[in-house]
Amino acid sequence: FDVVFGRERLPKVGVPLDRRVGQLSGGQRAQVALCLALAKRPRLLLLDEPLASLDPLARREFLSTMVDAVAETAMTVVLSSHLVTDLERVCDHLLVLHAGRVQVFAETDQLLATHKILIGPGGPRRPKIAGVDEVVHATDAQRQSTLLVRTNAQAIEPAWEQRDVSLEDLVLAYLAANVDTPTDRQDLSA
């Protein structure tokens, strides 16, 4: 346990050393917990929903502290969270689990590059779309369909407006796809 690390780190993240933990704010308590975990100098740090009770500023400070610690060491952090927008800035890899099953796993940048939102002609019976390997999730109306798709290296058919996908869009689409009926998720790799 690296006591010197802890004593130096806490004031840097705004935690006064002259107060009991029970007198600290939620964000400060989270920083103390992270500091204690980091002072053990683990090679692997598992964090389960560490951001859930923090306000946006405290979440940002917590993640910044964590990223700094990872940069200083050879530590790997596995972070479980439902706050996807906060993770987009710090995750190298993404694993989406639903009902104990892996829905998608890859490097975050690769996932964002190979998925798109397409907006185009409506109706649930759509022909194969050039440039699309798989429709992960579809929202169909009579006049317009919105699809989150996994793309291939080819150009996407020009009849479809193409938008970049956020990490939150991607996670929600894979979670929603698992809830839909099997016919709603189409494999277009044939």
Cβ neighbours of residue 48 closer than 8 Å, sequence gap 6 or more: 80
CA angle 74/79/80 to nearest 5° reads 165
Give the per-residue pLDDT at 187: 42
| % of the chain with per-residue pLDDT over 70 | 92
Which contacts qualify for 71-75: CB closer than 8 Å, 24 or more apart?
73/41, 74/43, 75/38, 75/41, 75/42, 75/43, 75/44, 75/45
Dihedral angle sign, alpha carbons of residues 148, 173, 99, 124: negative
pLDDT tier, 27 (very low <50, low <70, confident <90, very high otherwise): confident
pLDDT tier, 184 (very low <50, low <70, confident <90, very high otherwise): very low
| % of the chain with per-residue pLDDT over 90 | 26
CA distances from 32 to 24, 87, 146, 150 (A): 9, 20, 44, 41
The whole-model pTM stands at 0.75
pLDDT tier, 169 (very low <50, low <70, confident <90, very high otherwise): very high
Give the ranges where the chain is alpha helix by DSSP (H). 3-12, 26-39, 56-72, 84-87, 108-114, 167-179
Give the per-residue pLDDT at 5: 83
